[in-house]
Amino acid sequence: MLDLHMLKSLPGNGEVTACEREGVLRCDSSDLAVKTAQLMLGCSEPILETESCETVRPALGKHDAQNAFSARPRLPASIVIAYRERGLAGCLEQLVEDSEPGWLMAIARVAAKAALAGLSTAEQVTKFTRFERSISTRTHTSGLGGGSREIVSISWHSCSRRLAVAFTDDSVKIYSQKPLQPLLKHRIQRRVTQVQWLPYSMSVACVSCEAGVLLWSVDPSSVVTRPSGACISLLPFLHNASHAVMTTHPQGTSVACSDGRGVRVWDTALLMSTEVQRSGHVTHLAFSPDATRLLVVMARPPTLRVFDTSDWSLQEWVSSSEVSCCAWSPCSDYVVFCTADPAVLYFLSPTTAATAFCTADPAVLYFLSPTTAATAATMLADLSLVQLADTSGQTVSVGGAVKGMAWGGERLLLYFHSCSYLVLFHTLTIHALKIAINGVIKGPDDCLPVSAAFHPSQPSLLTVAWDDGTLQHVPLLYTSRQTTSTSNIGALNTTLAEFNTTVADYHTTNVNSPWNDSHITPREFQSDTLNGSLWPNNSILS
């Protein structure tokens, strides 16, 4: 069984994970890590740039327009006008700017400069006092998300260089390498919980909030930075949701969502819905990548249901603890999930698909097999909190309650509520599911991860969002072992032997019993070419 004591060489303070090269995670300083990512991704400029302030023209004041279209009055009329328009400060500024000759006016200009300096000092003191009060207020209200710009959710577009980022101030920013980056905000867009791009669509971003799911039409060729309400289609909830959840259909035809009470599937073209489940406190939703299954996770009682999307029949498993996160494998044959108490990682396999999930306390990976009558879970990895030493010799904590996970290509990523390290696993899904601990991913010092996502069309690009509002891009360069021909059984044995050799030091756990070659089916050998020779010659950013 895997556990976090197997982790070695944890990055220390000042080090950031730069990339992975053939199973080895490499760390460096933050500046060099960014340059390494750019080099591996085949681009000389930053992957995502924020909008330049030079693209916005500053507004002109009232006195600027007056100077352009009217003659300047002479003393003392100019002082009277300045006092009426700008108060005492304006009167003093007018005296300083006046060029009237004479020793009396020179003394007046010196006195006006001294008075302006005193007013400026008093203003700075007042601003500092207000700032301290605002900081004190934010320390008590930051938990409510008021005025904060922390990241809530991120989502890569399936076929372009566009990243949607949702913030705690209920705004969604579309980052790209174009100079204009849209900001999505609306009065009904409150308590945002998720953002996802609609597959097979260049412009539709789905945002879940308390009112429902907003479908934003964001034209990539538009020059509008603040799309209006005319760009929104609302998929409403029957009740206001305190924690809305949603998932998009892999073919972009529908959106499954829940306000915490039941599940509805909306047709994105007709804007019509079908009620799949009427009750239950739903916490997670996920379509399988092949669109044949819909995973529904409920909190009370802790239950996992897998619906067949062809007839909406279901299979059900009851967990011993609340499920904290879950994810489908890219091949749609496995699911991993984590429970809350204890924090354990499990595995579940429906008849034609499989599911993986994690538990929270202790953090361990389990296996459930719906293909048989047994409902017991098999533990894959113990994710309990452990104390390890980093490269600088300091003791750090790794593991604990699992906050979320992401599965892309042959890599499974877990991140925790109170741990600044993300744990990366090797995975292999040829006939059997095998996992092995790869290492940890570290970002800025003293920061916690809030969300993570693999690029859908090229899982070699991993993006992690941190609680300080920064985004970290980690290229994962490795040779895929999933590409195996159905007519070459010997190639399967070679692939498995290479995998066992690569991860021998990580104590690989095989969740299935030894297999028989005569039972191999073509479904188990389909190649998705998720990660092959595309790096770094053919960049996904091109």
Is the Cβ–Cβ distance between 186 and 232 less than 8 Å? yes
Q: Is pLDDT above 80 for 7?
A: yes
Phi then psi for 475, rounded to 5 degrees?
-70, 135
| Residue 513 confidence class, pLDDT cut points 50, 70, 90 | very low
Q: If you average pLDDT over residues 213-232, what whole number do you get? A: 88
Tokens matching residue 440? 């940890």
Q: Is pLDDT above 80 for 71?
A: no
Query: Which residues touch 58 (CB under 8 Å, ≥6 apart)?
Result: none
Dihedral of the CA atoms 21, 24, 30, 34 (nearest 10)?
10
Looking at residue 55, its pLDDT comes to: 38
Is the Cβ–Cβ distance between 157 and 29 less than 8 Å? no
Specify the amino acid at residue 423: V
Which one has a higher pLDDT value, 91 or 174?
174
What confidence tens digit (pLDDT) does each residue in 148-191 have? Answer: 478 999 999 988 889 999 999 999 999 987 778 899 999 999 99
Over 361-380, what HEC string results? CCCEEEEECCCCCCCCEEEE
Looking at residue 463, its pLDDT comes to: 94
Which one has a higher pLDDT value, 244 or 520?
244
| Residue 368 confidence class, pLDDT cut points 50, 70, 90 | very low
| Residue 215 confidence class, pLDDT cut points 50, 70, 90 | very high
Which of these, 322, 308, 333, lies nearest to 524 by C-alpha position?
333
- Residue 376, CB-side half-sphere exposure with 13 Å CA sphere: 3
| Residue 296 confidence class, pLDDT cut points 50, 70, 90 | very high
Residue in the structure block whose two tokens are 């990241």: 151
Mean pLDDT for the chain overall = 76
Q: Residue 144 burial (CB < 10 Å; 0-12/13-18/19+)?
A: exposed
Q: Is pLDDT above 90 for 360?
A: no
| Residue 30 confidence class, pLDDT cut points 50, 70, 90 | confident
The proportion of the chain whose per-residue pLDDT surpasses 90, expressed as a percent, equals 33
Q: If you average pLDDT over residues 378-407, what whole number do you get? A: 89
| Residue 61 confidence class, pLDDT cut points 50, 70, 90 | very low
Q: Is pLDDT above 90 for 452?
A: yes
Q: Is pLDDT above 70 for 535?
A: no
Neighbour-count burial for 309-323, b at 16+ CB within 10 Å, e otherwise = beeeeebebebebbb
Looking at residue 328, its pLDDT comes to: 93
Looking at residue 40, its pLDDT comes to: 73
The proportion of the chain whose per-residue pLDDT surpasses 70, expressed as a percent, equals 72
**What is the Cα–Cα distance from 442 to 15, expressed in whole angstroms?**
8
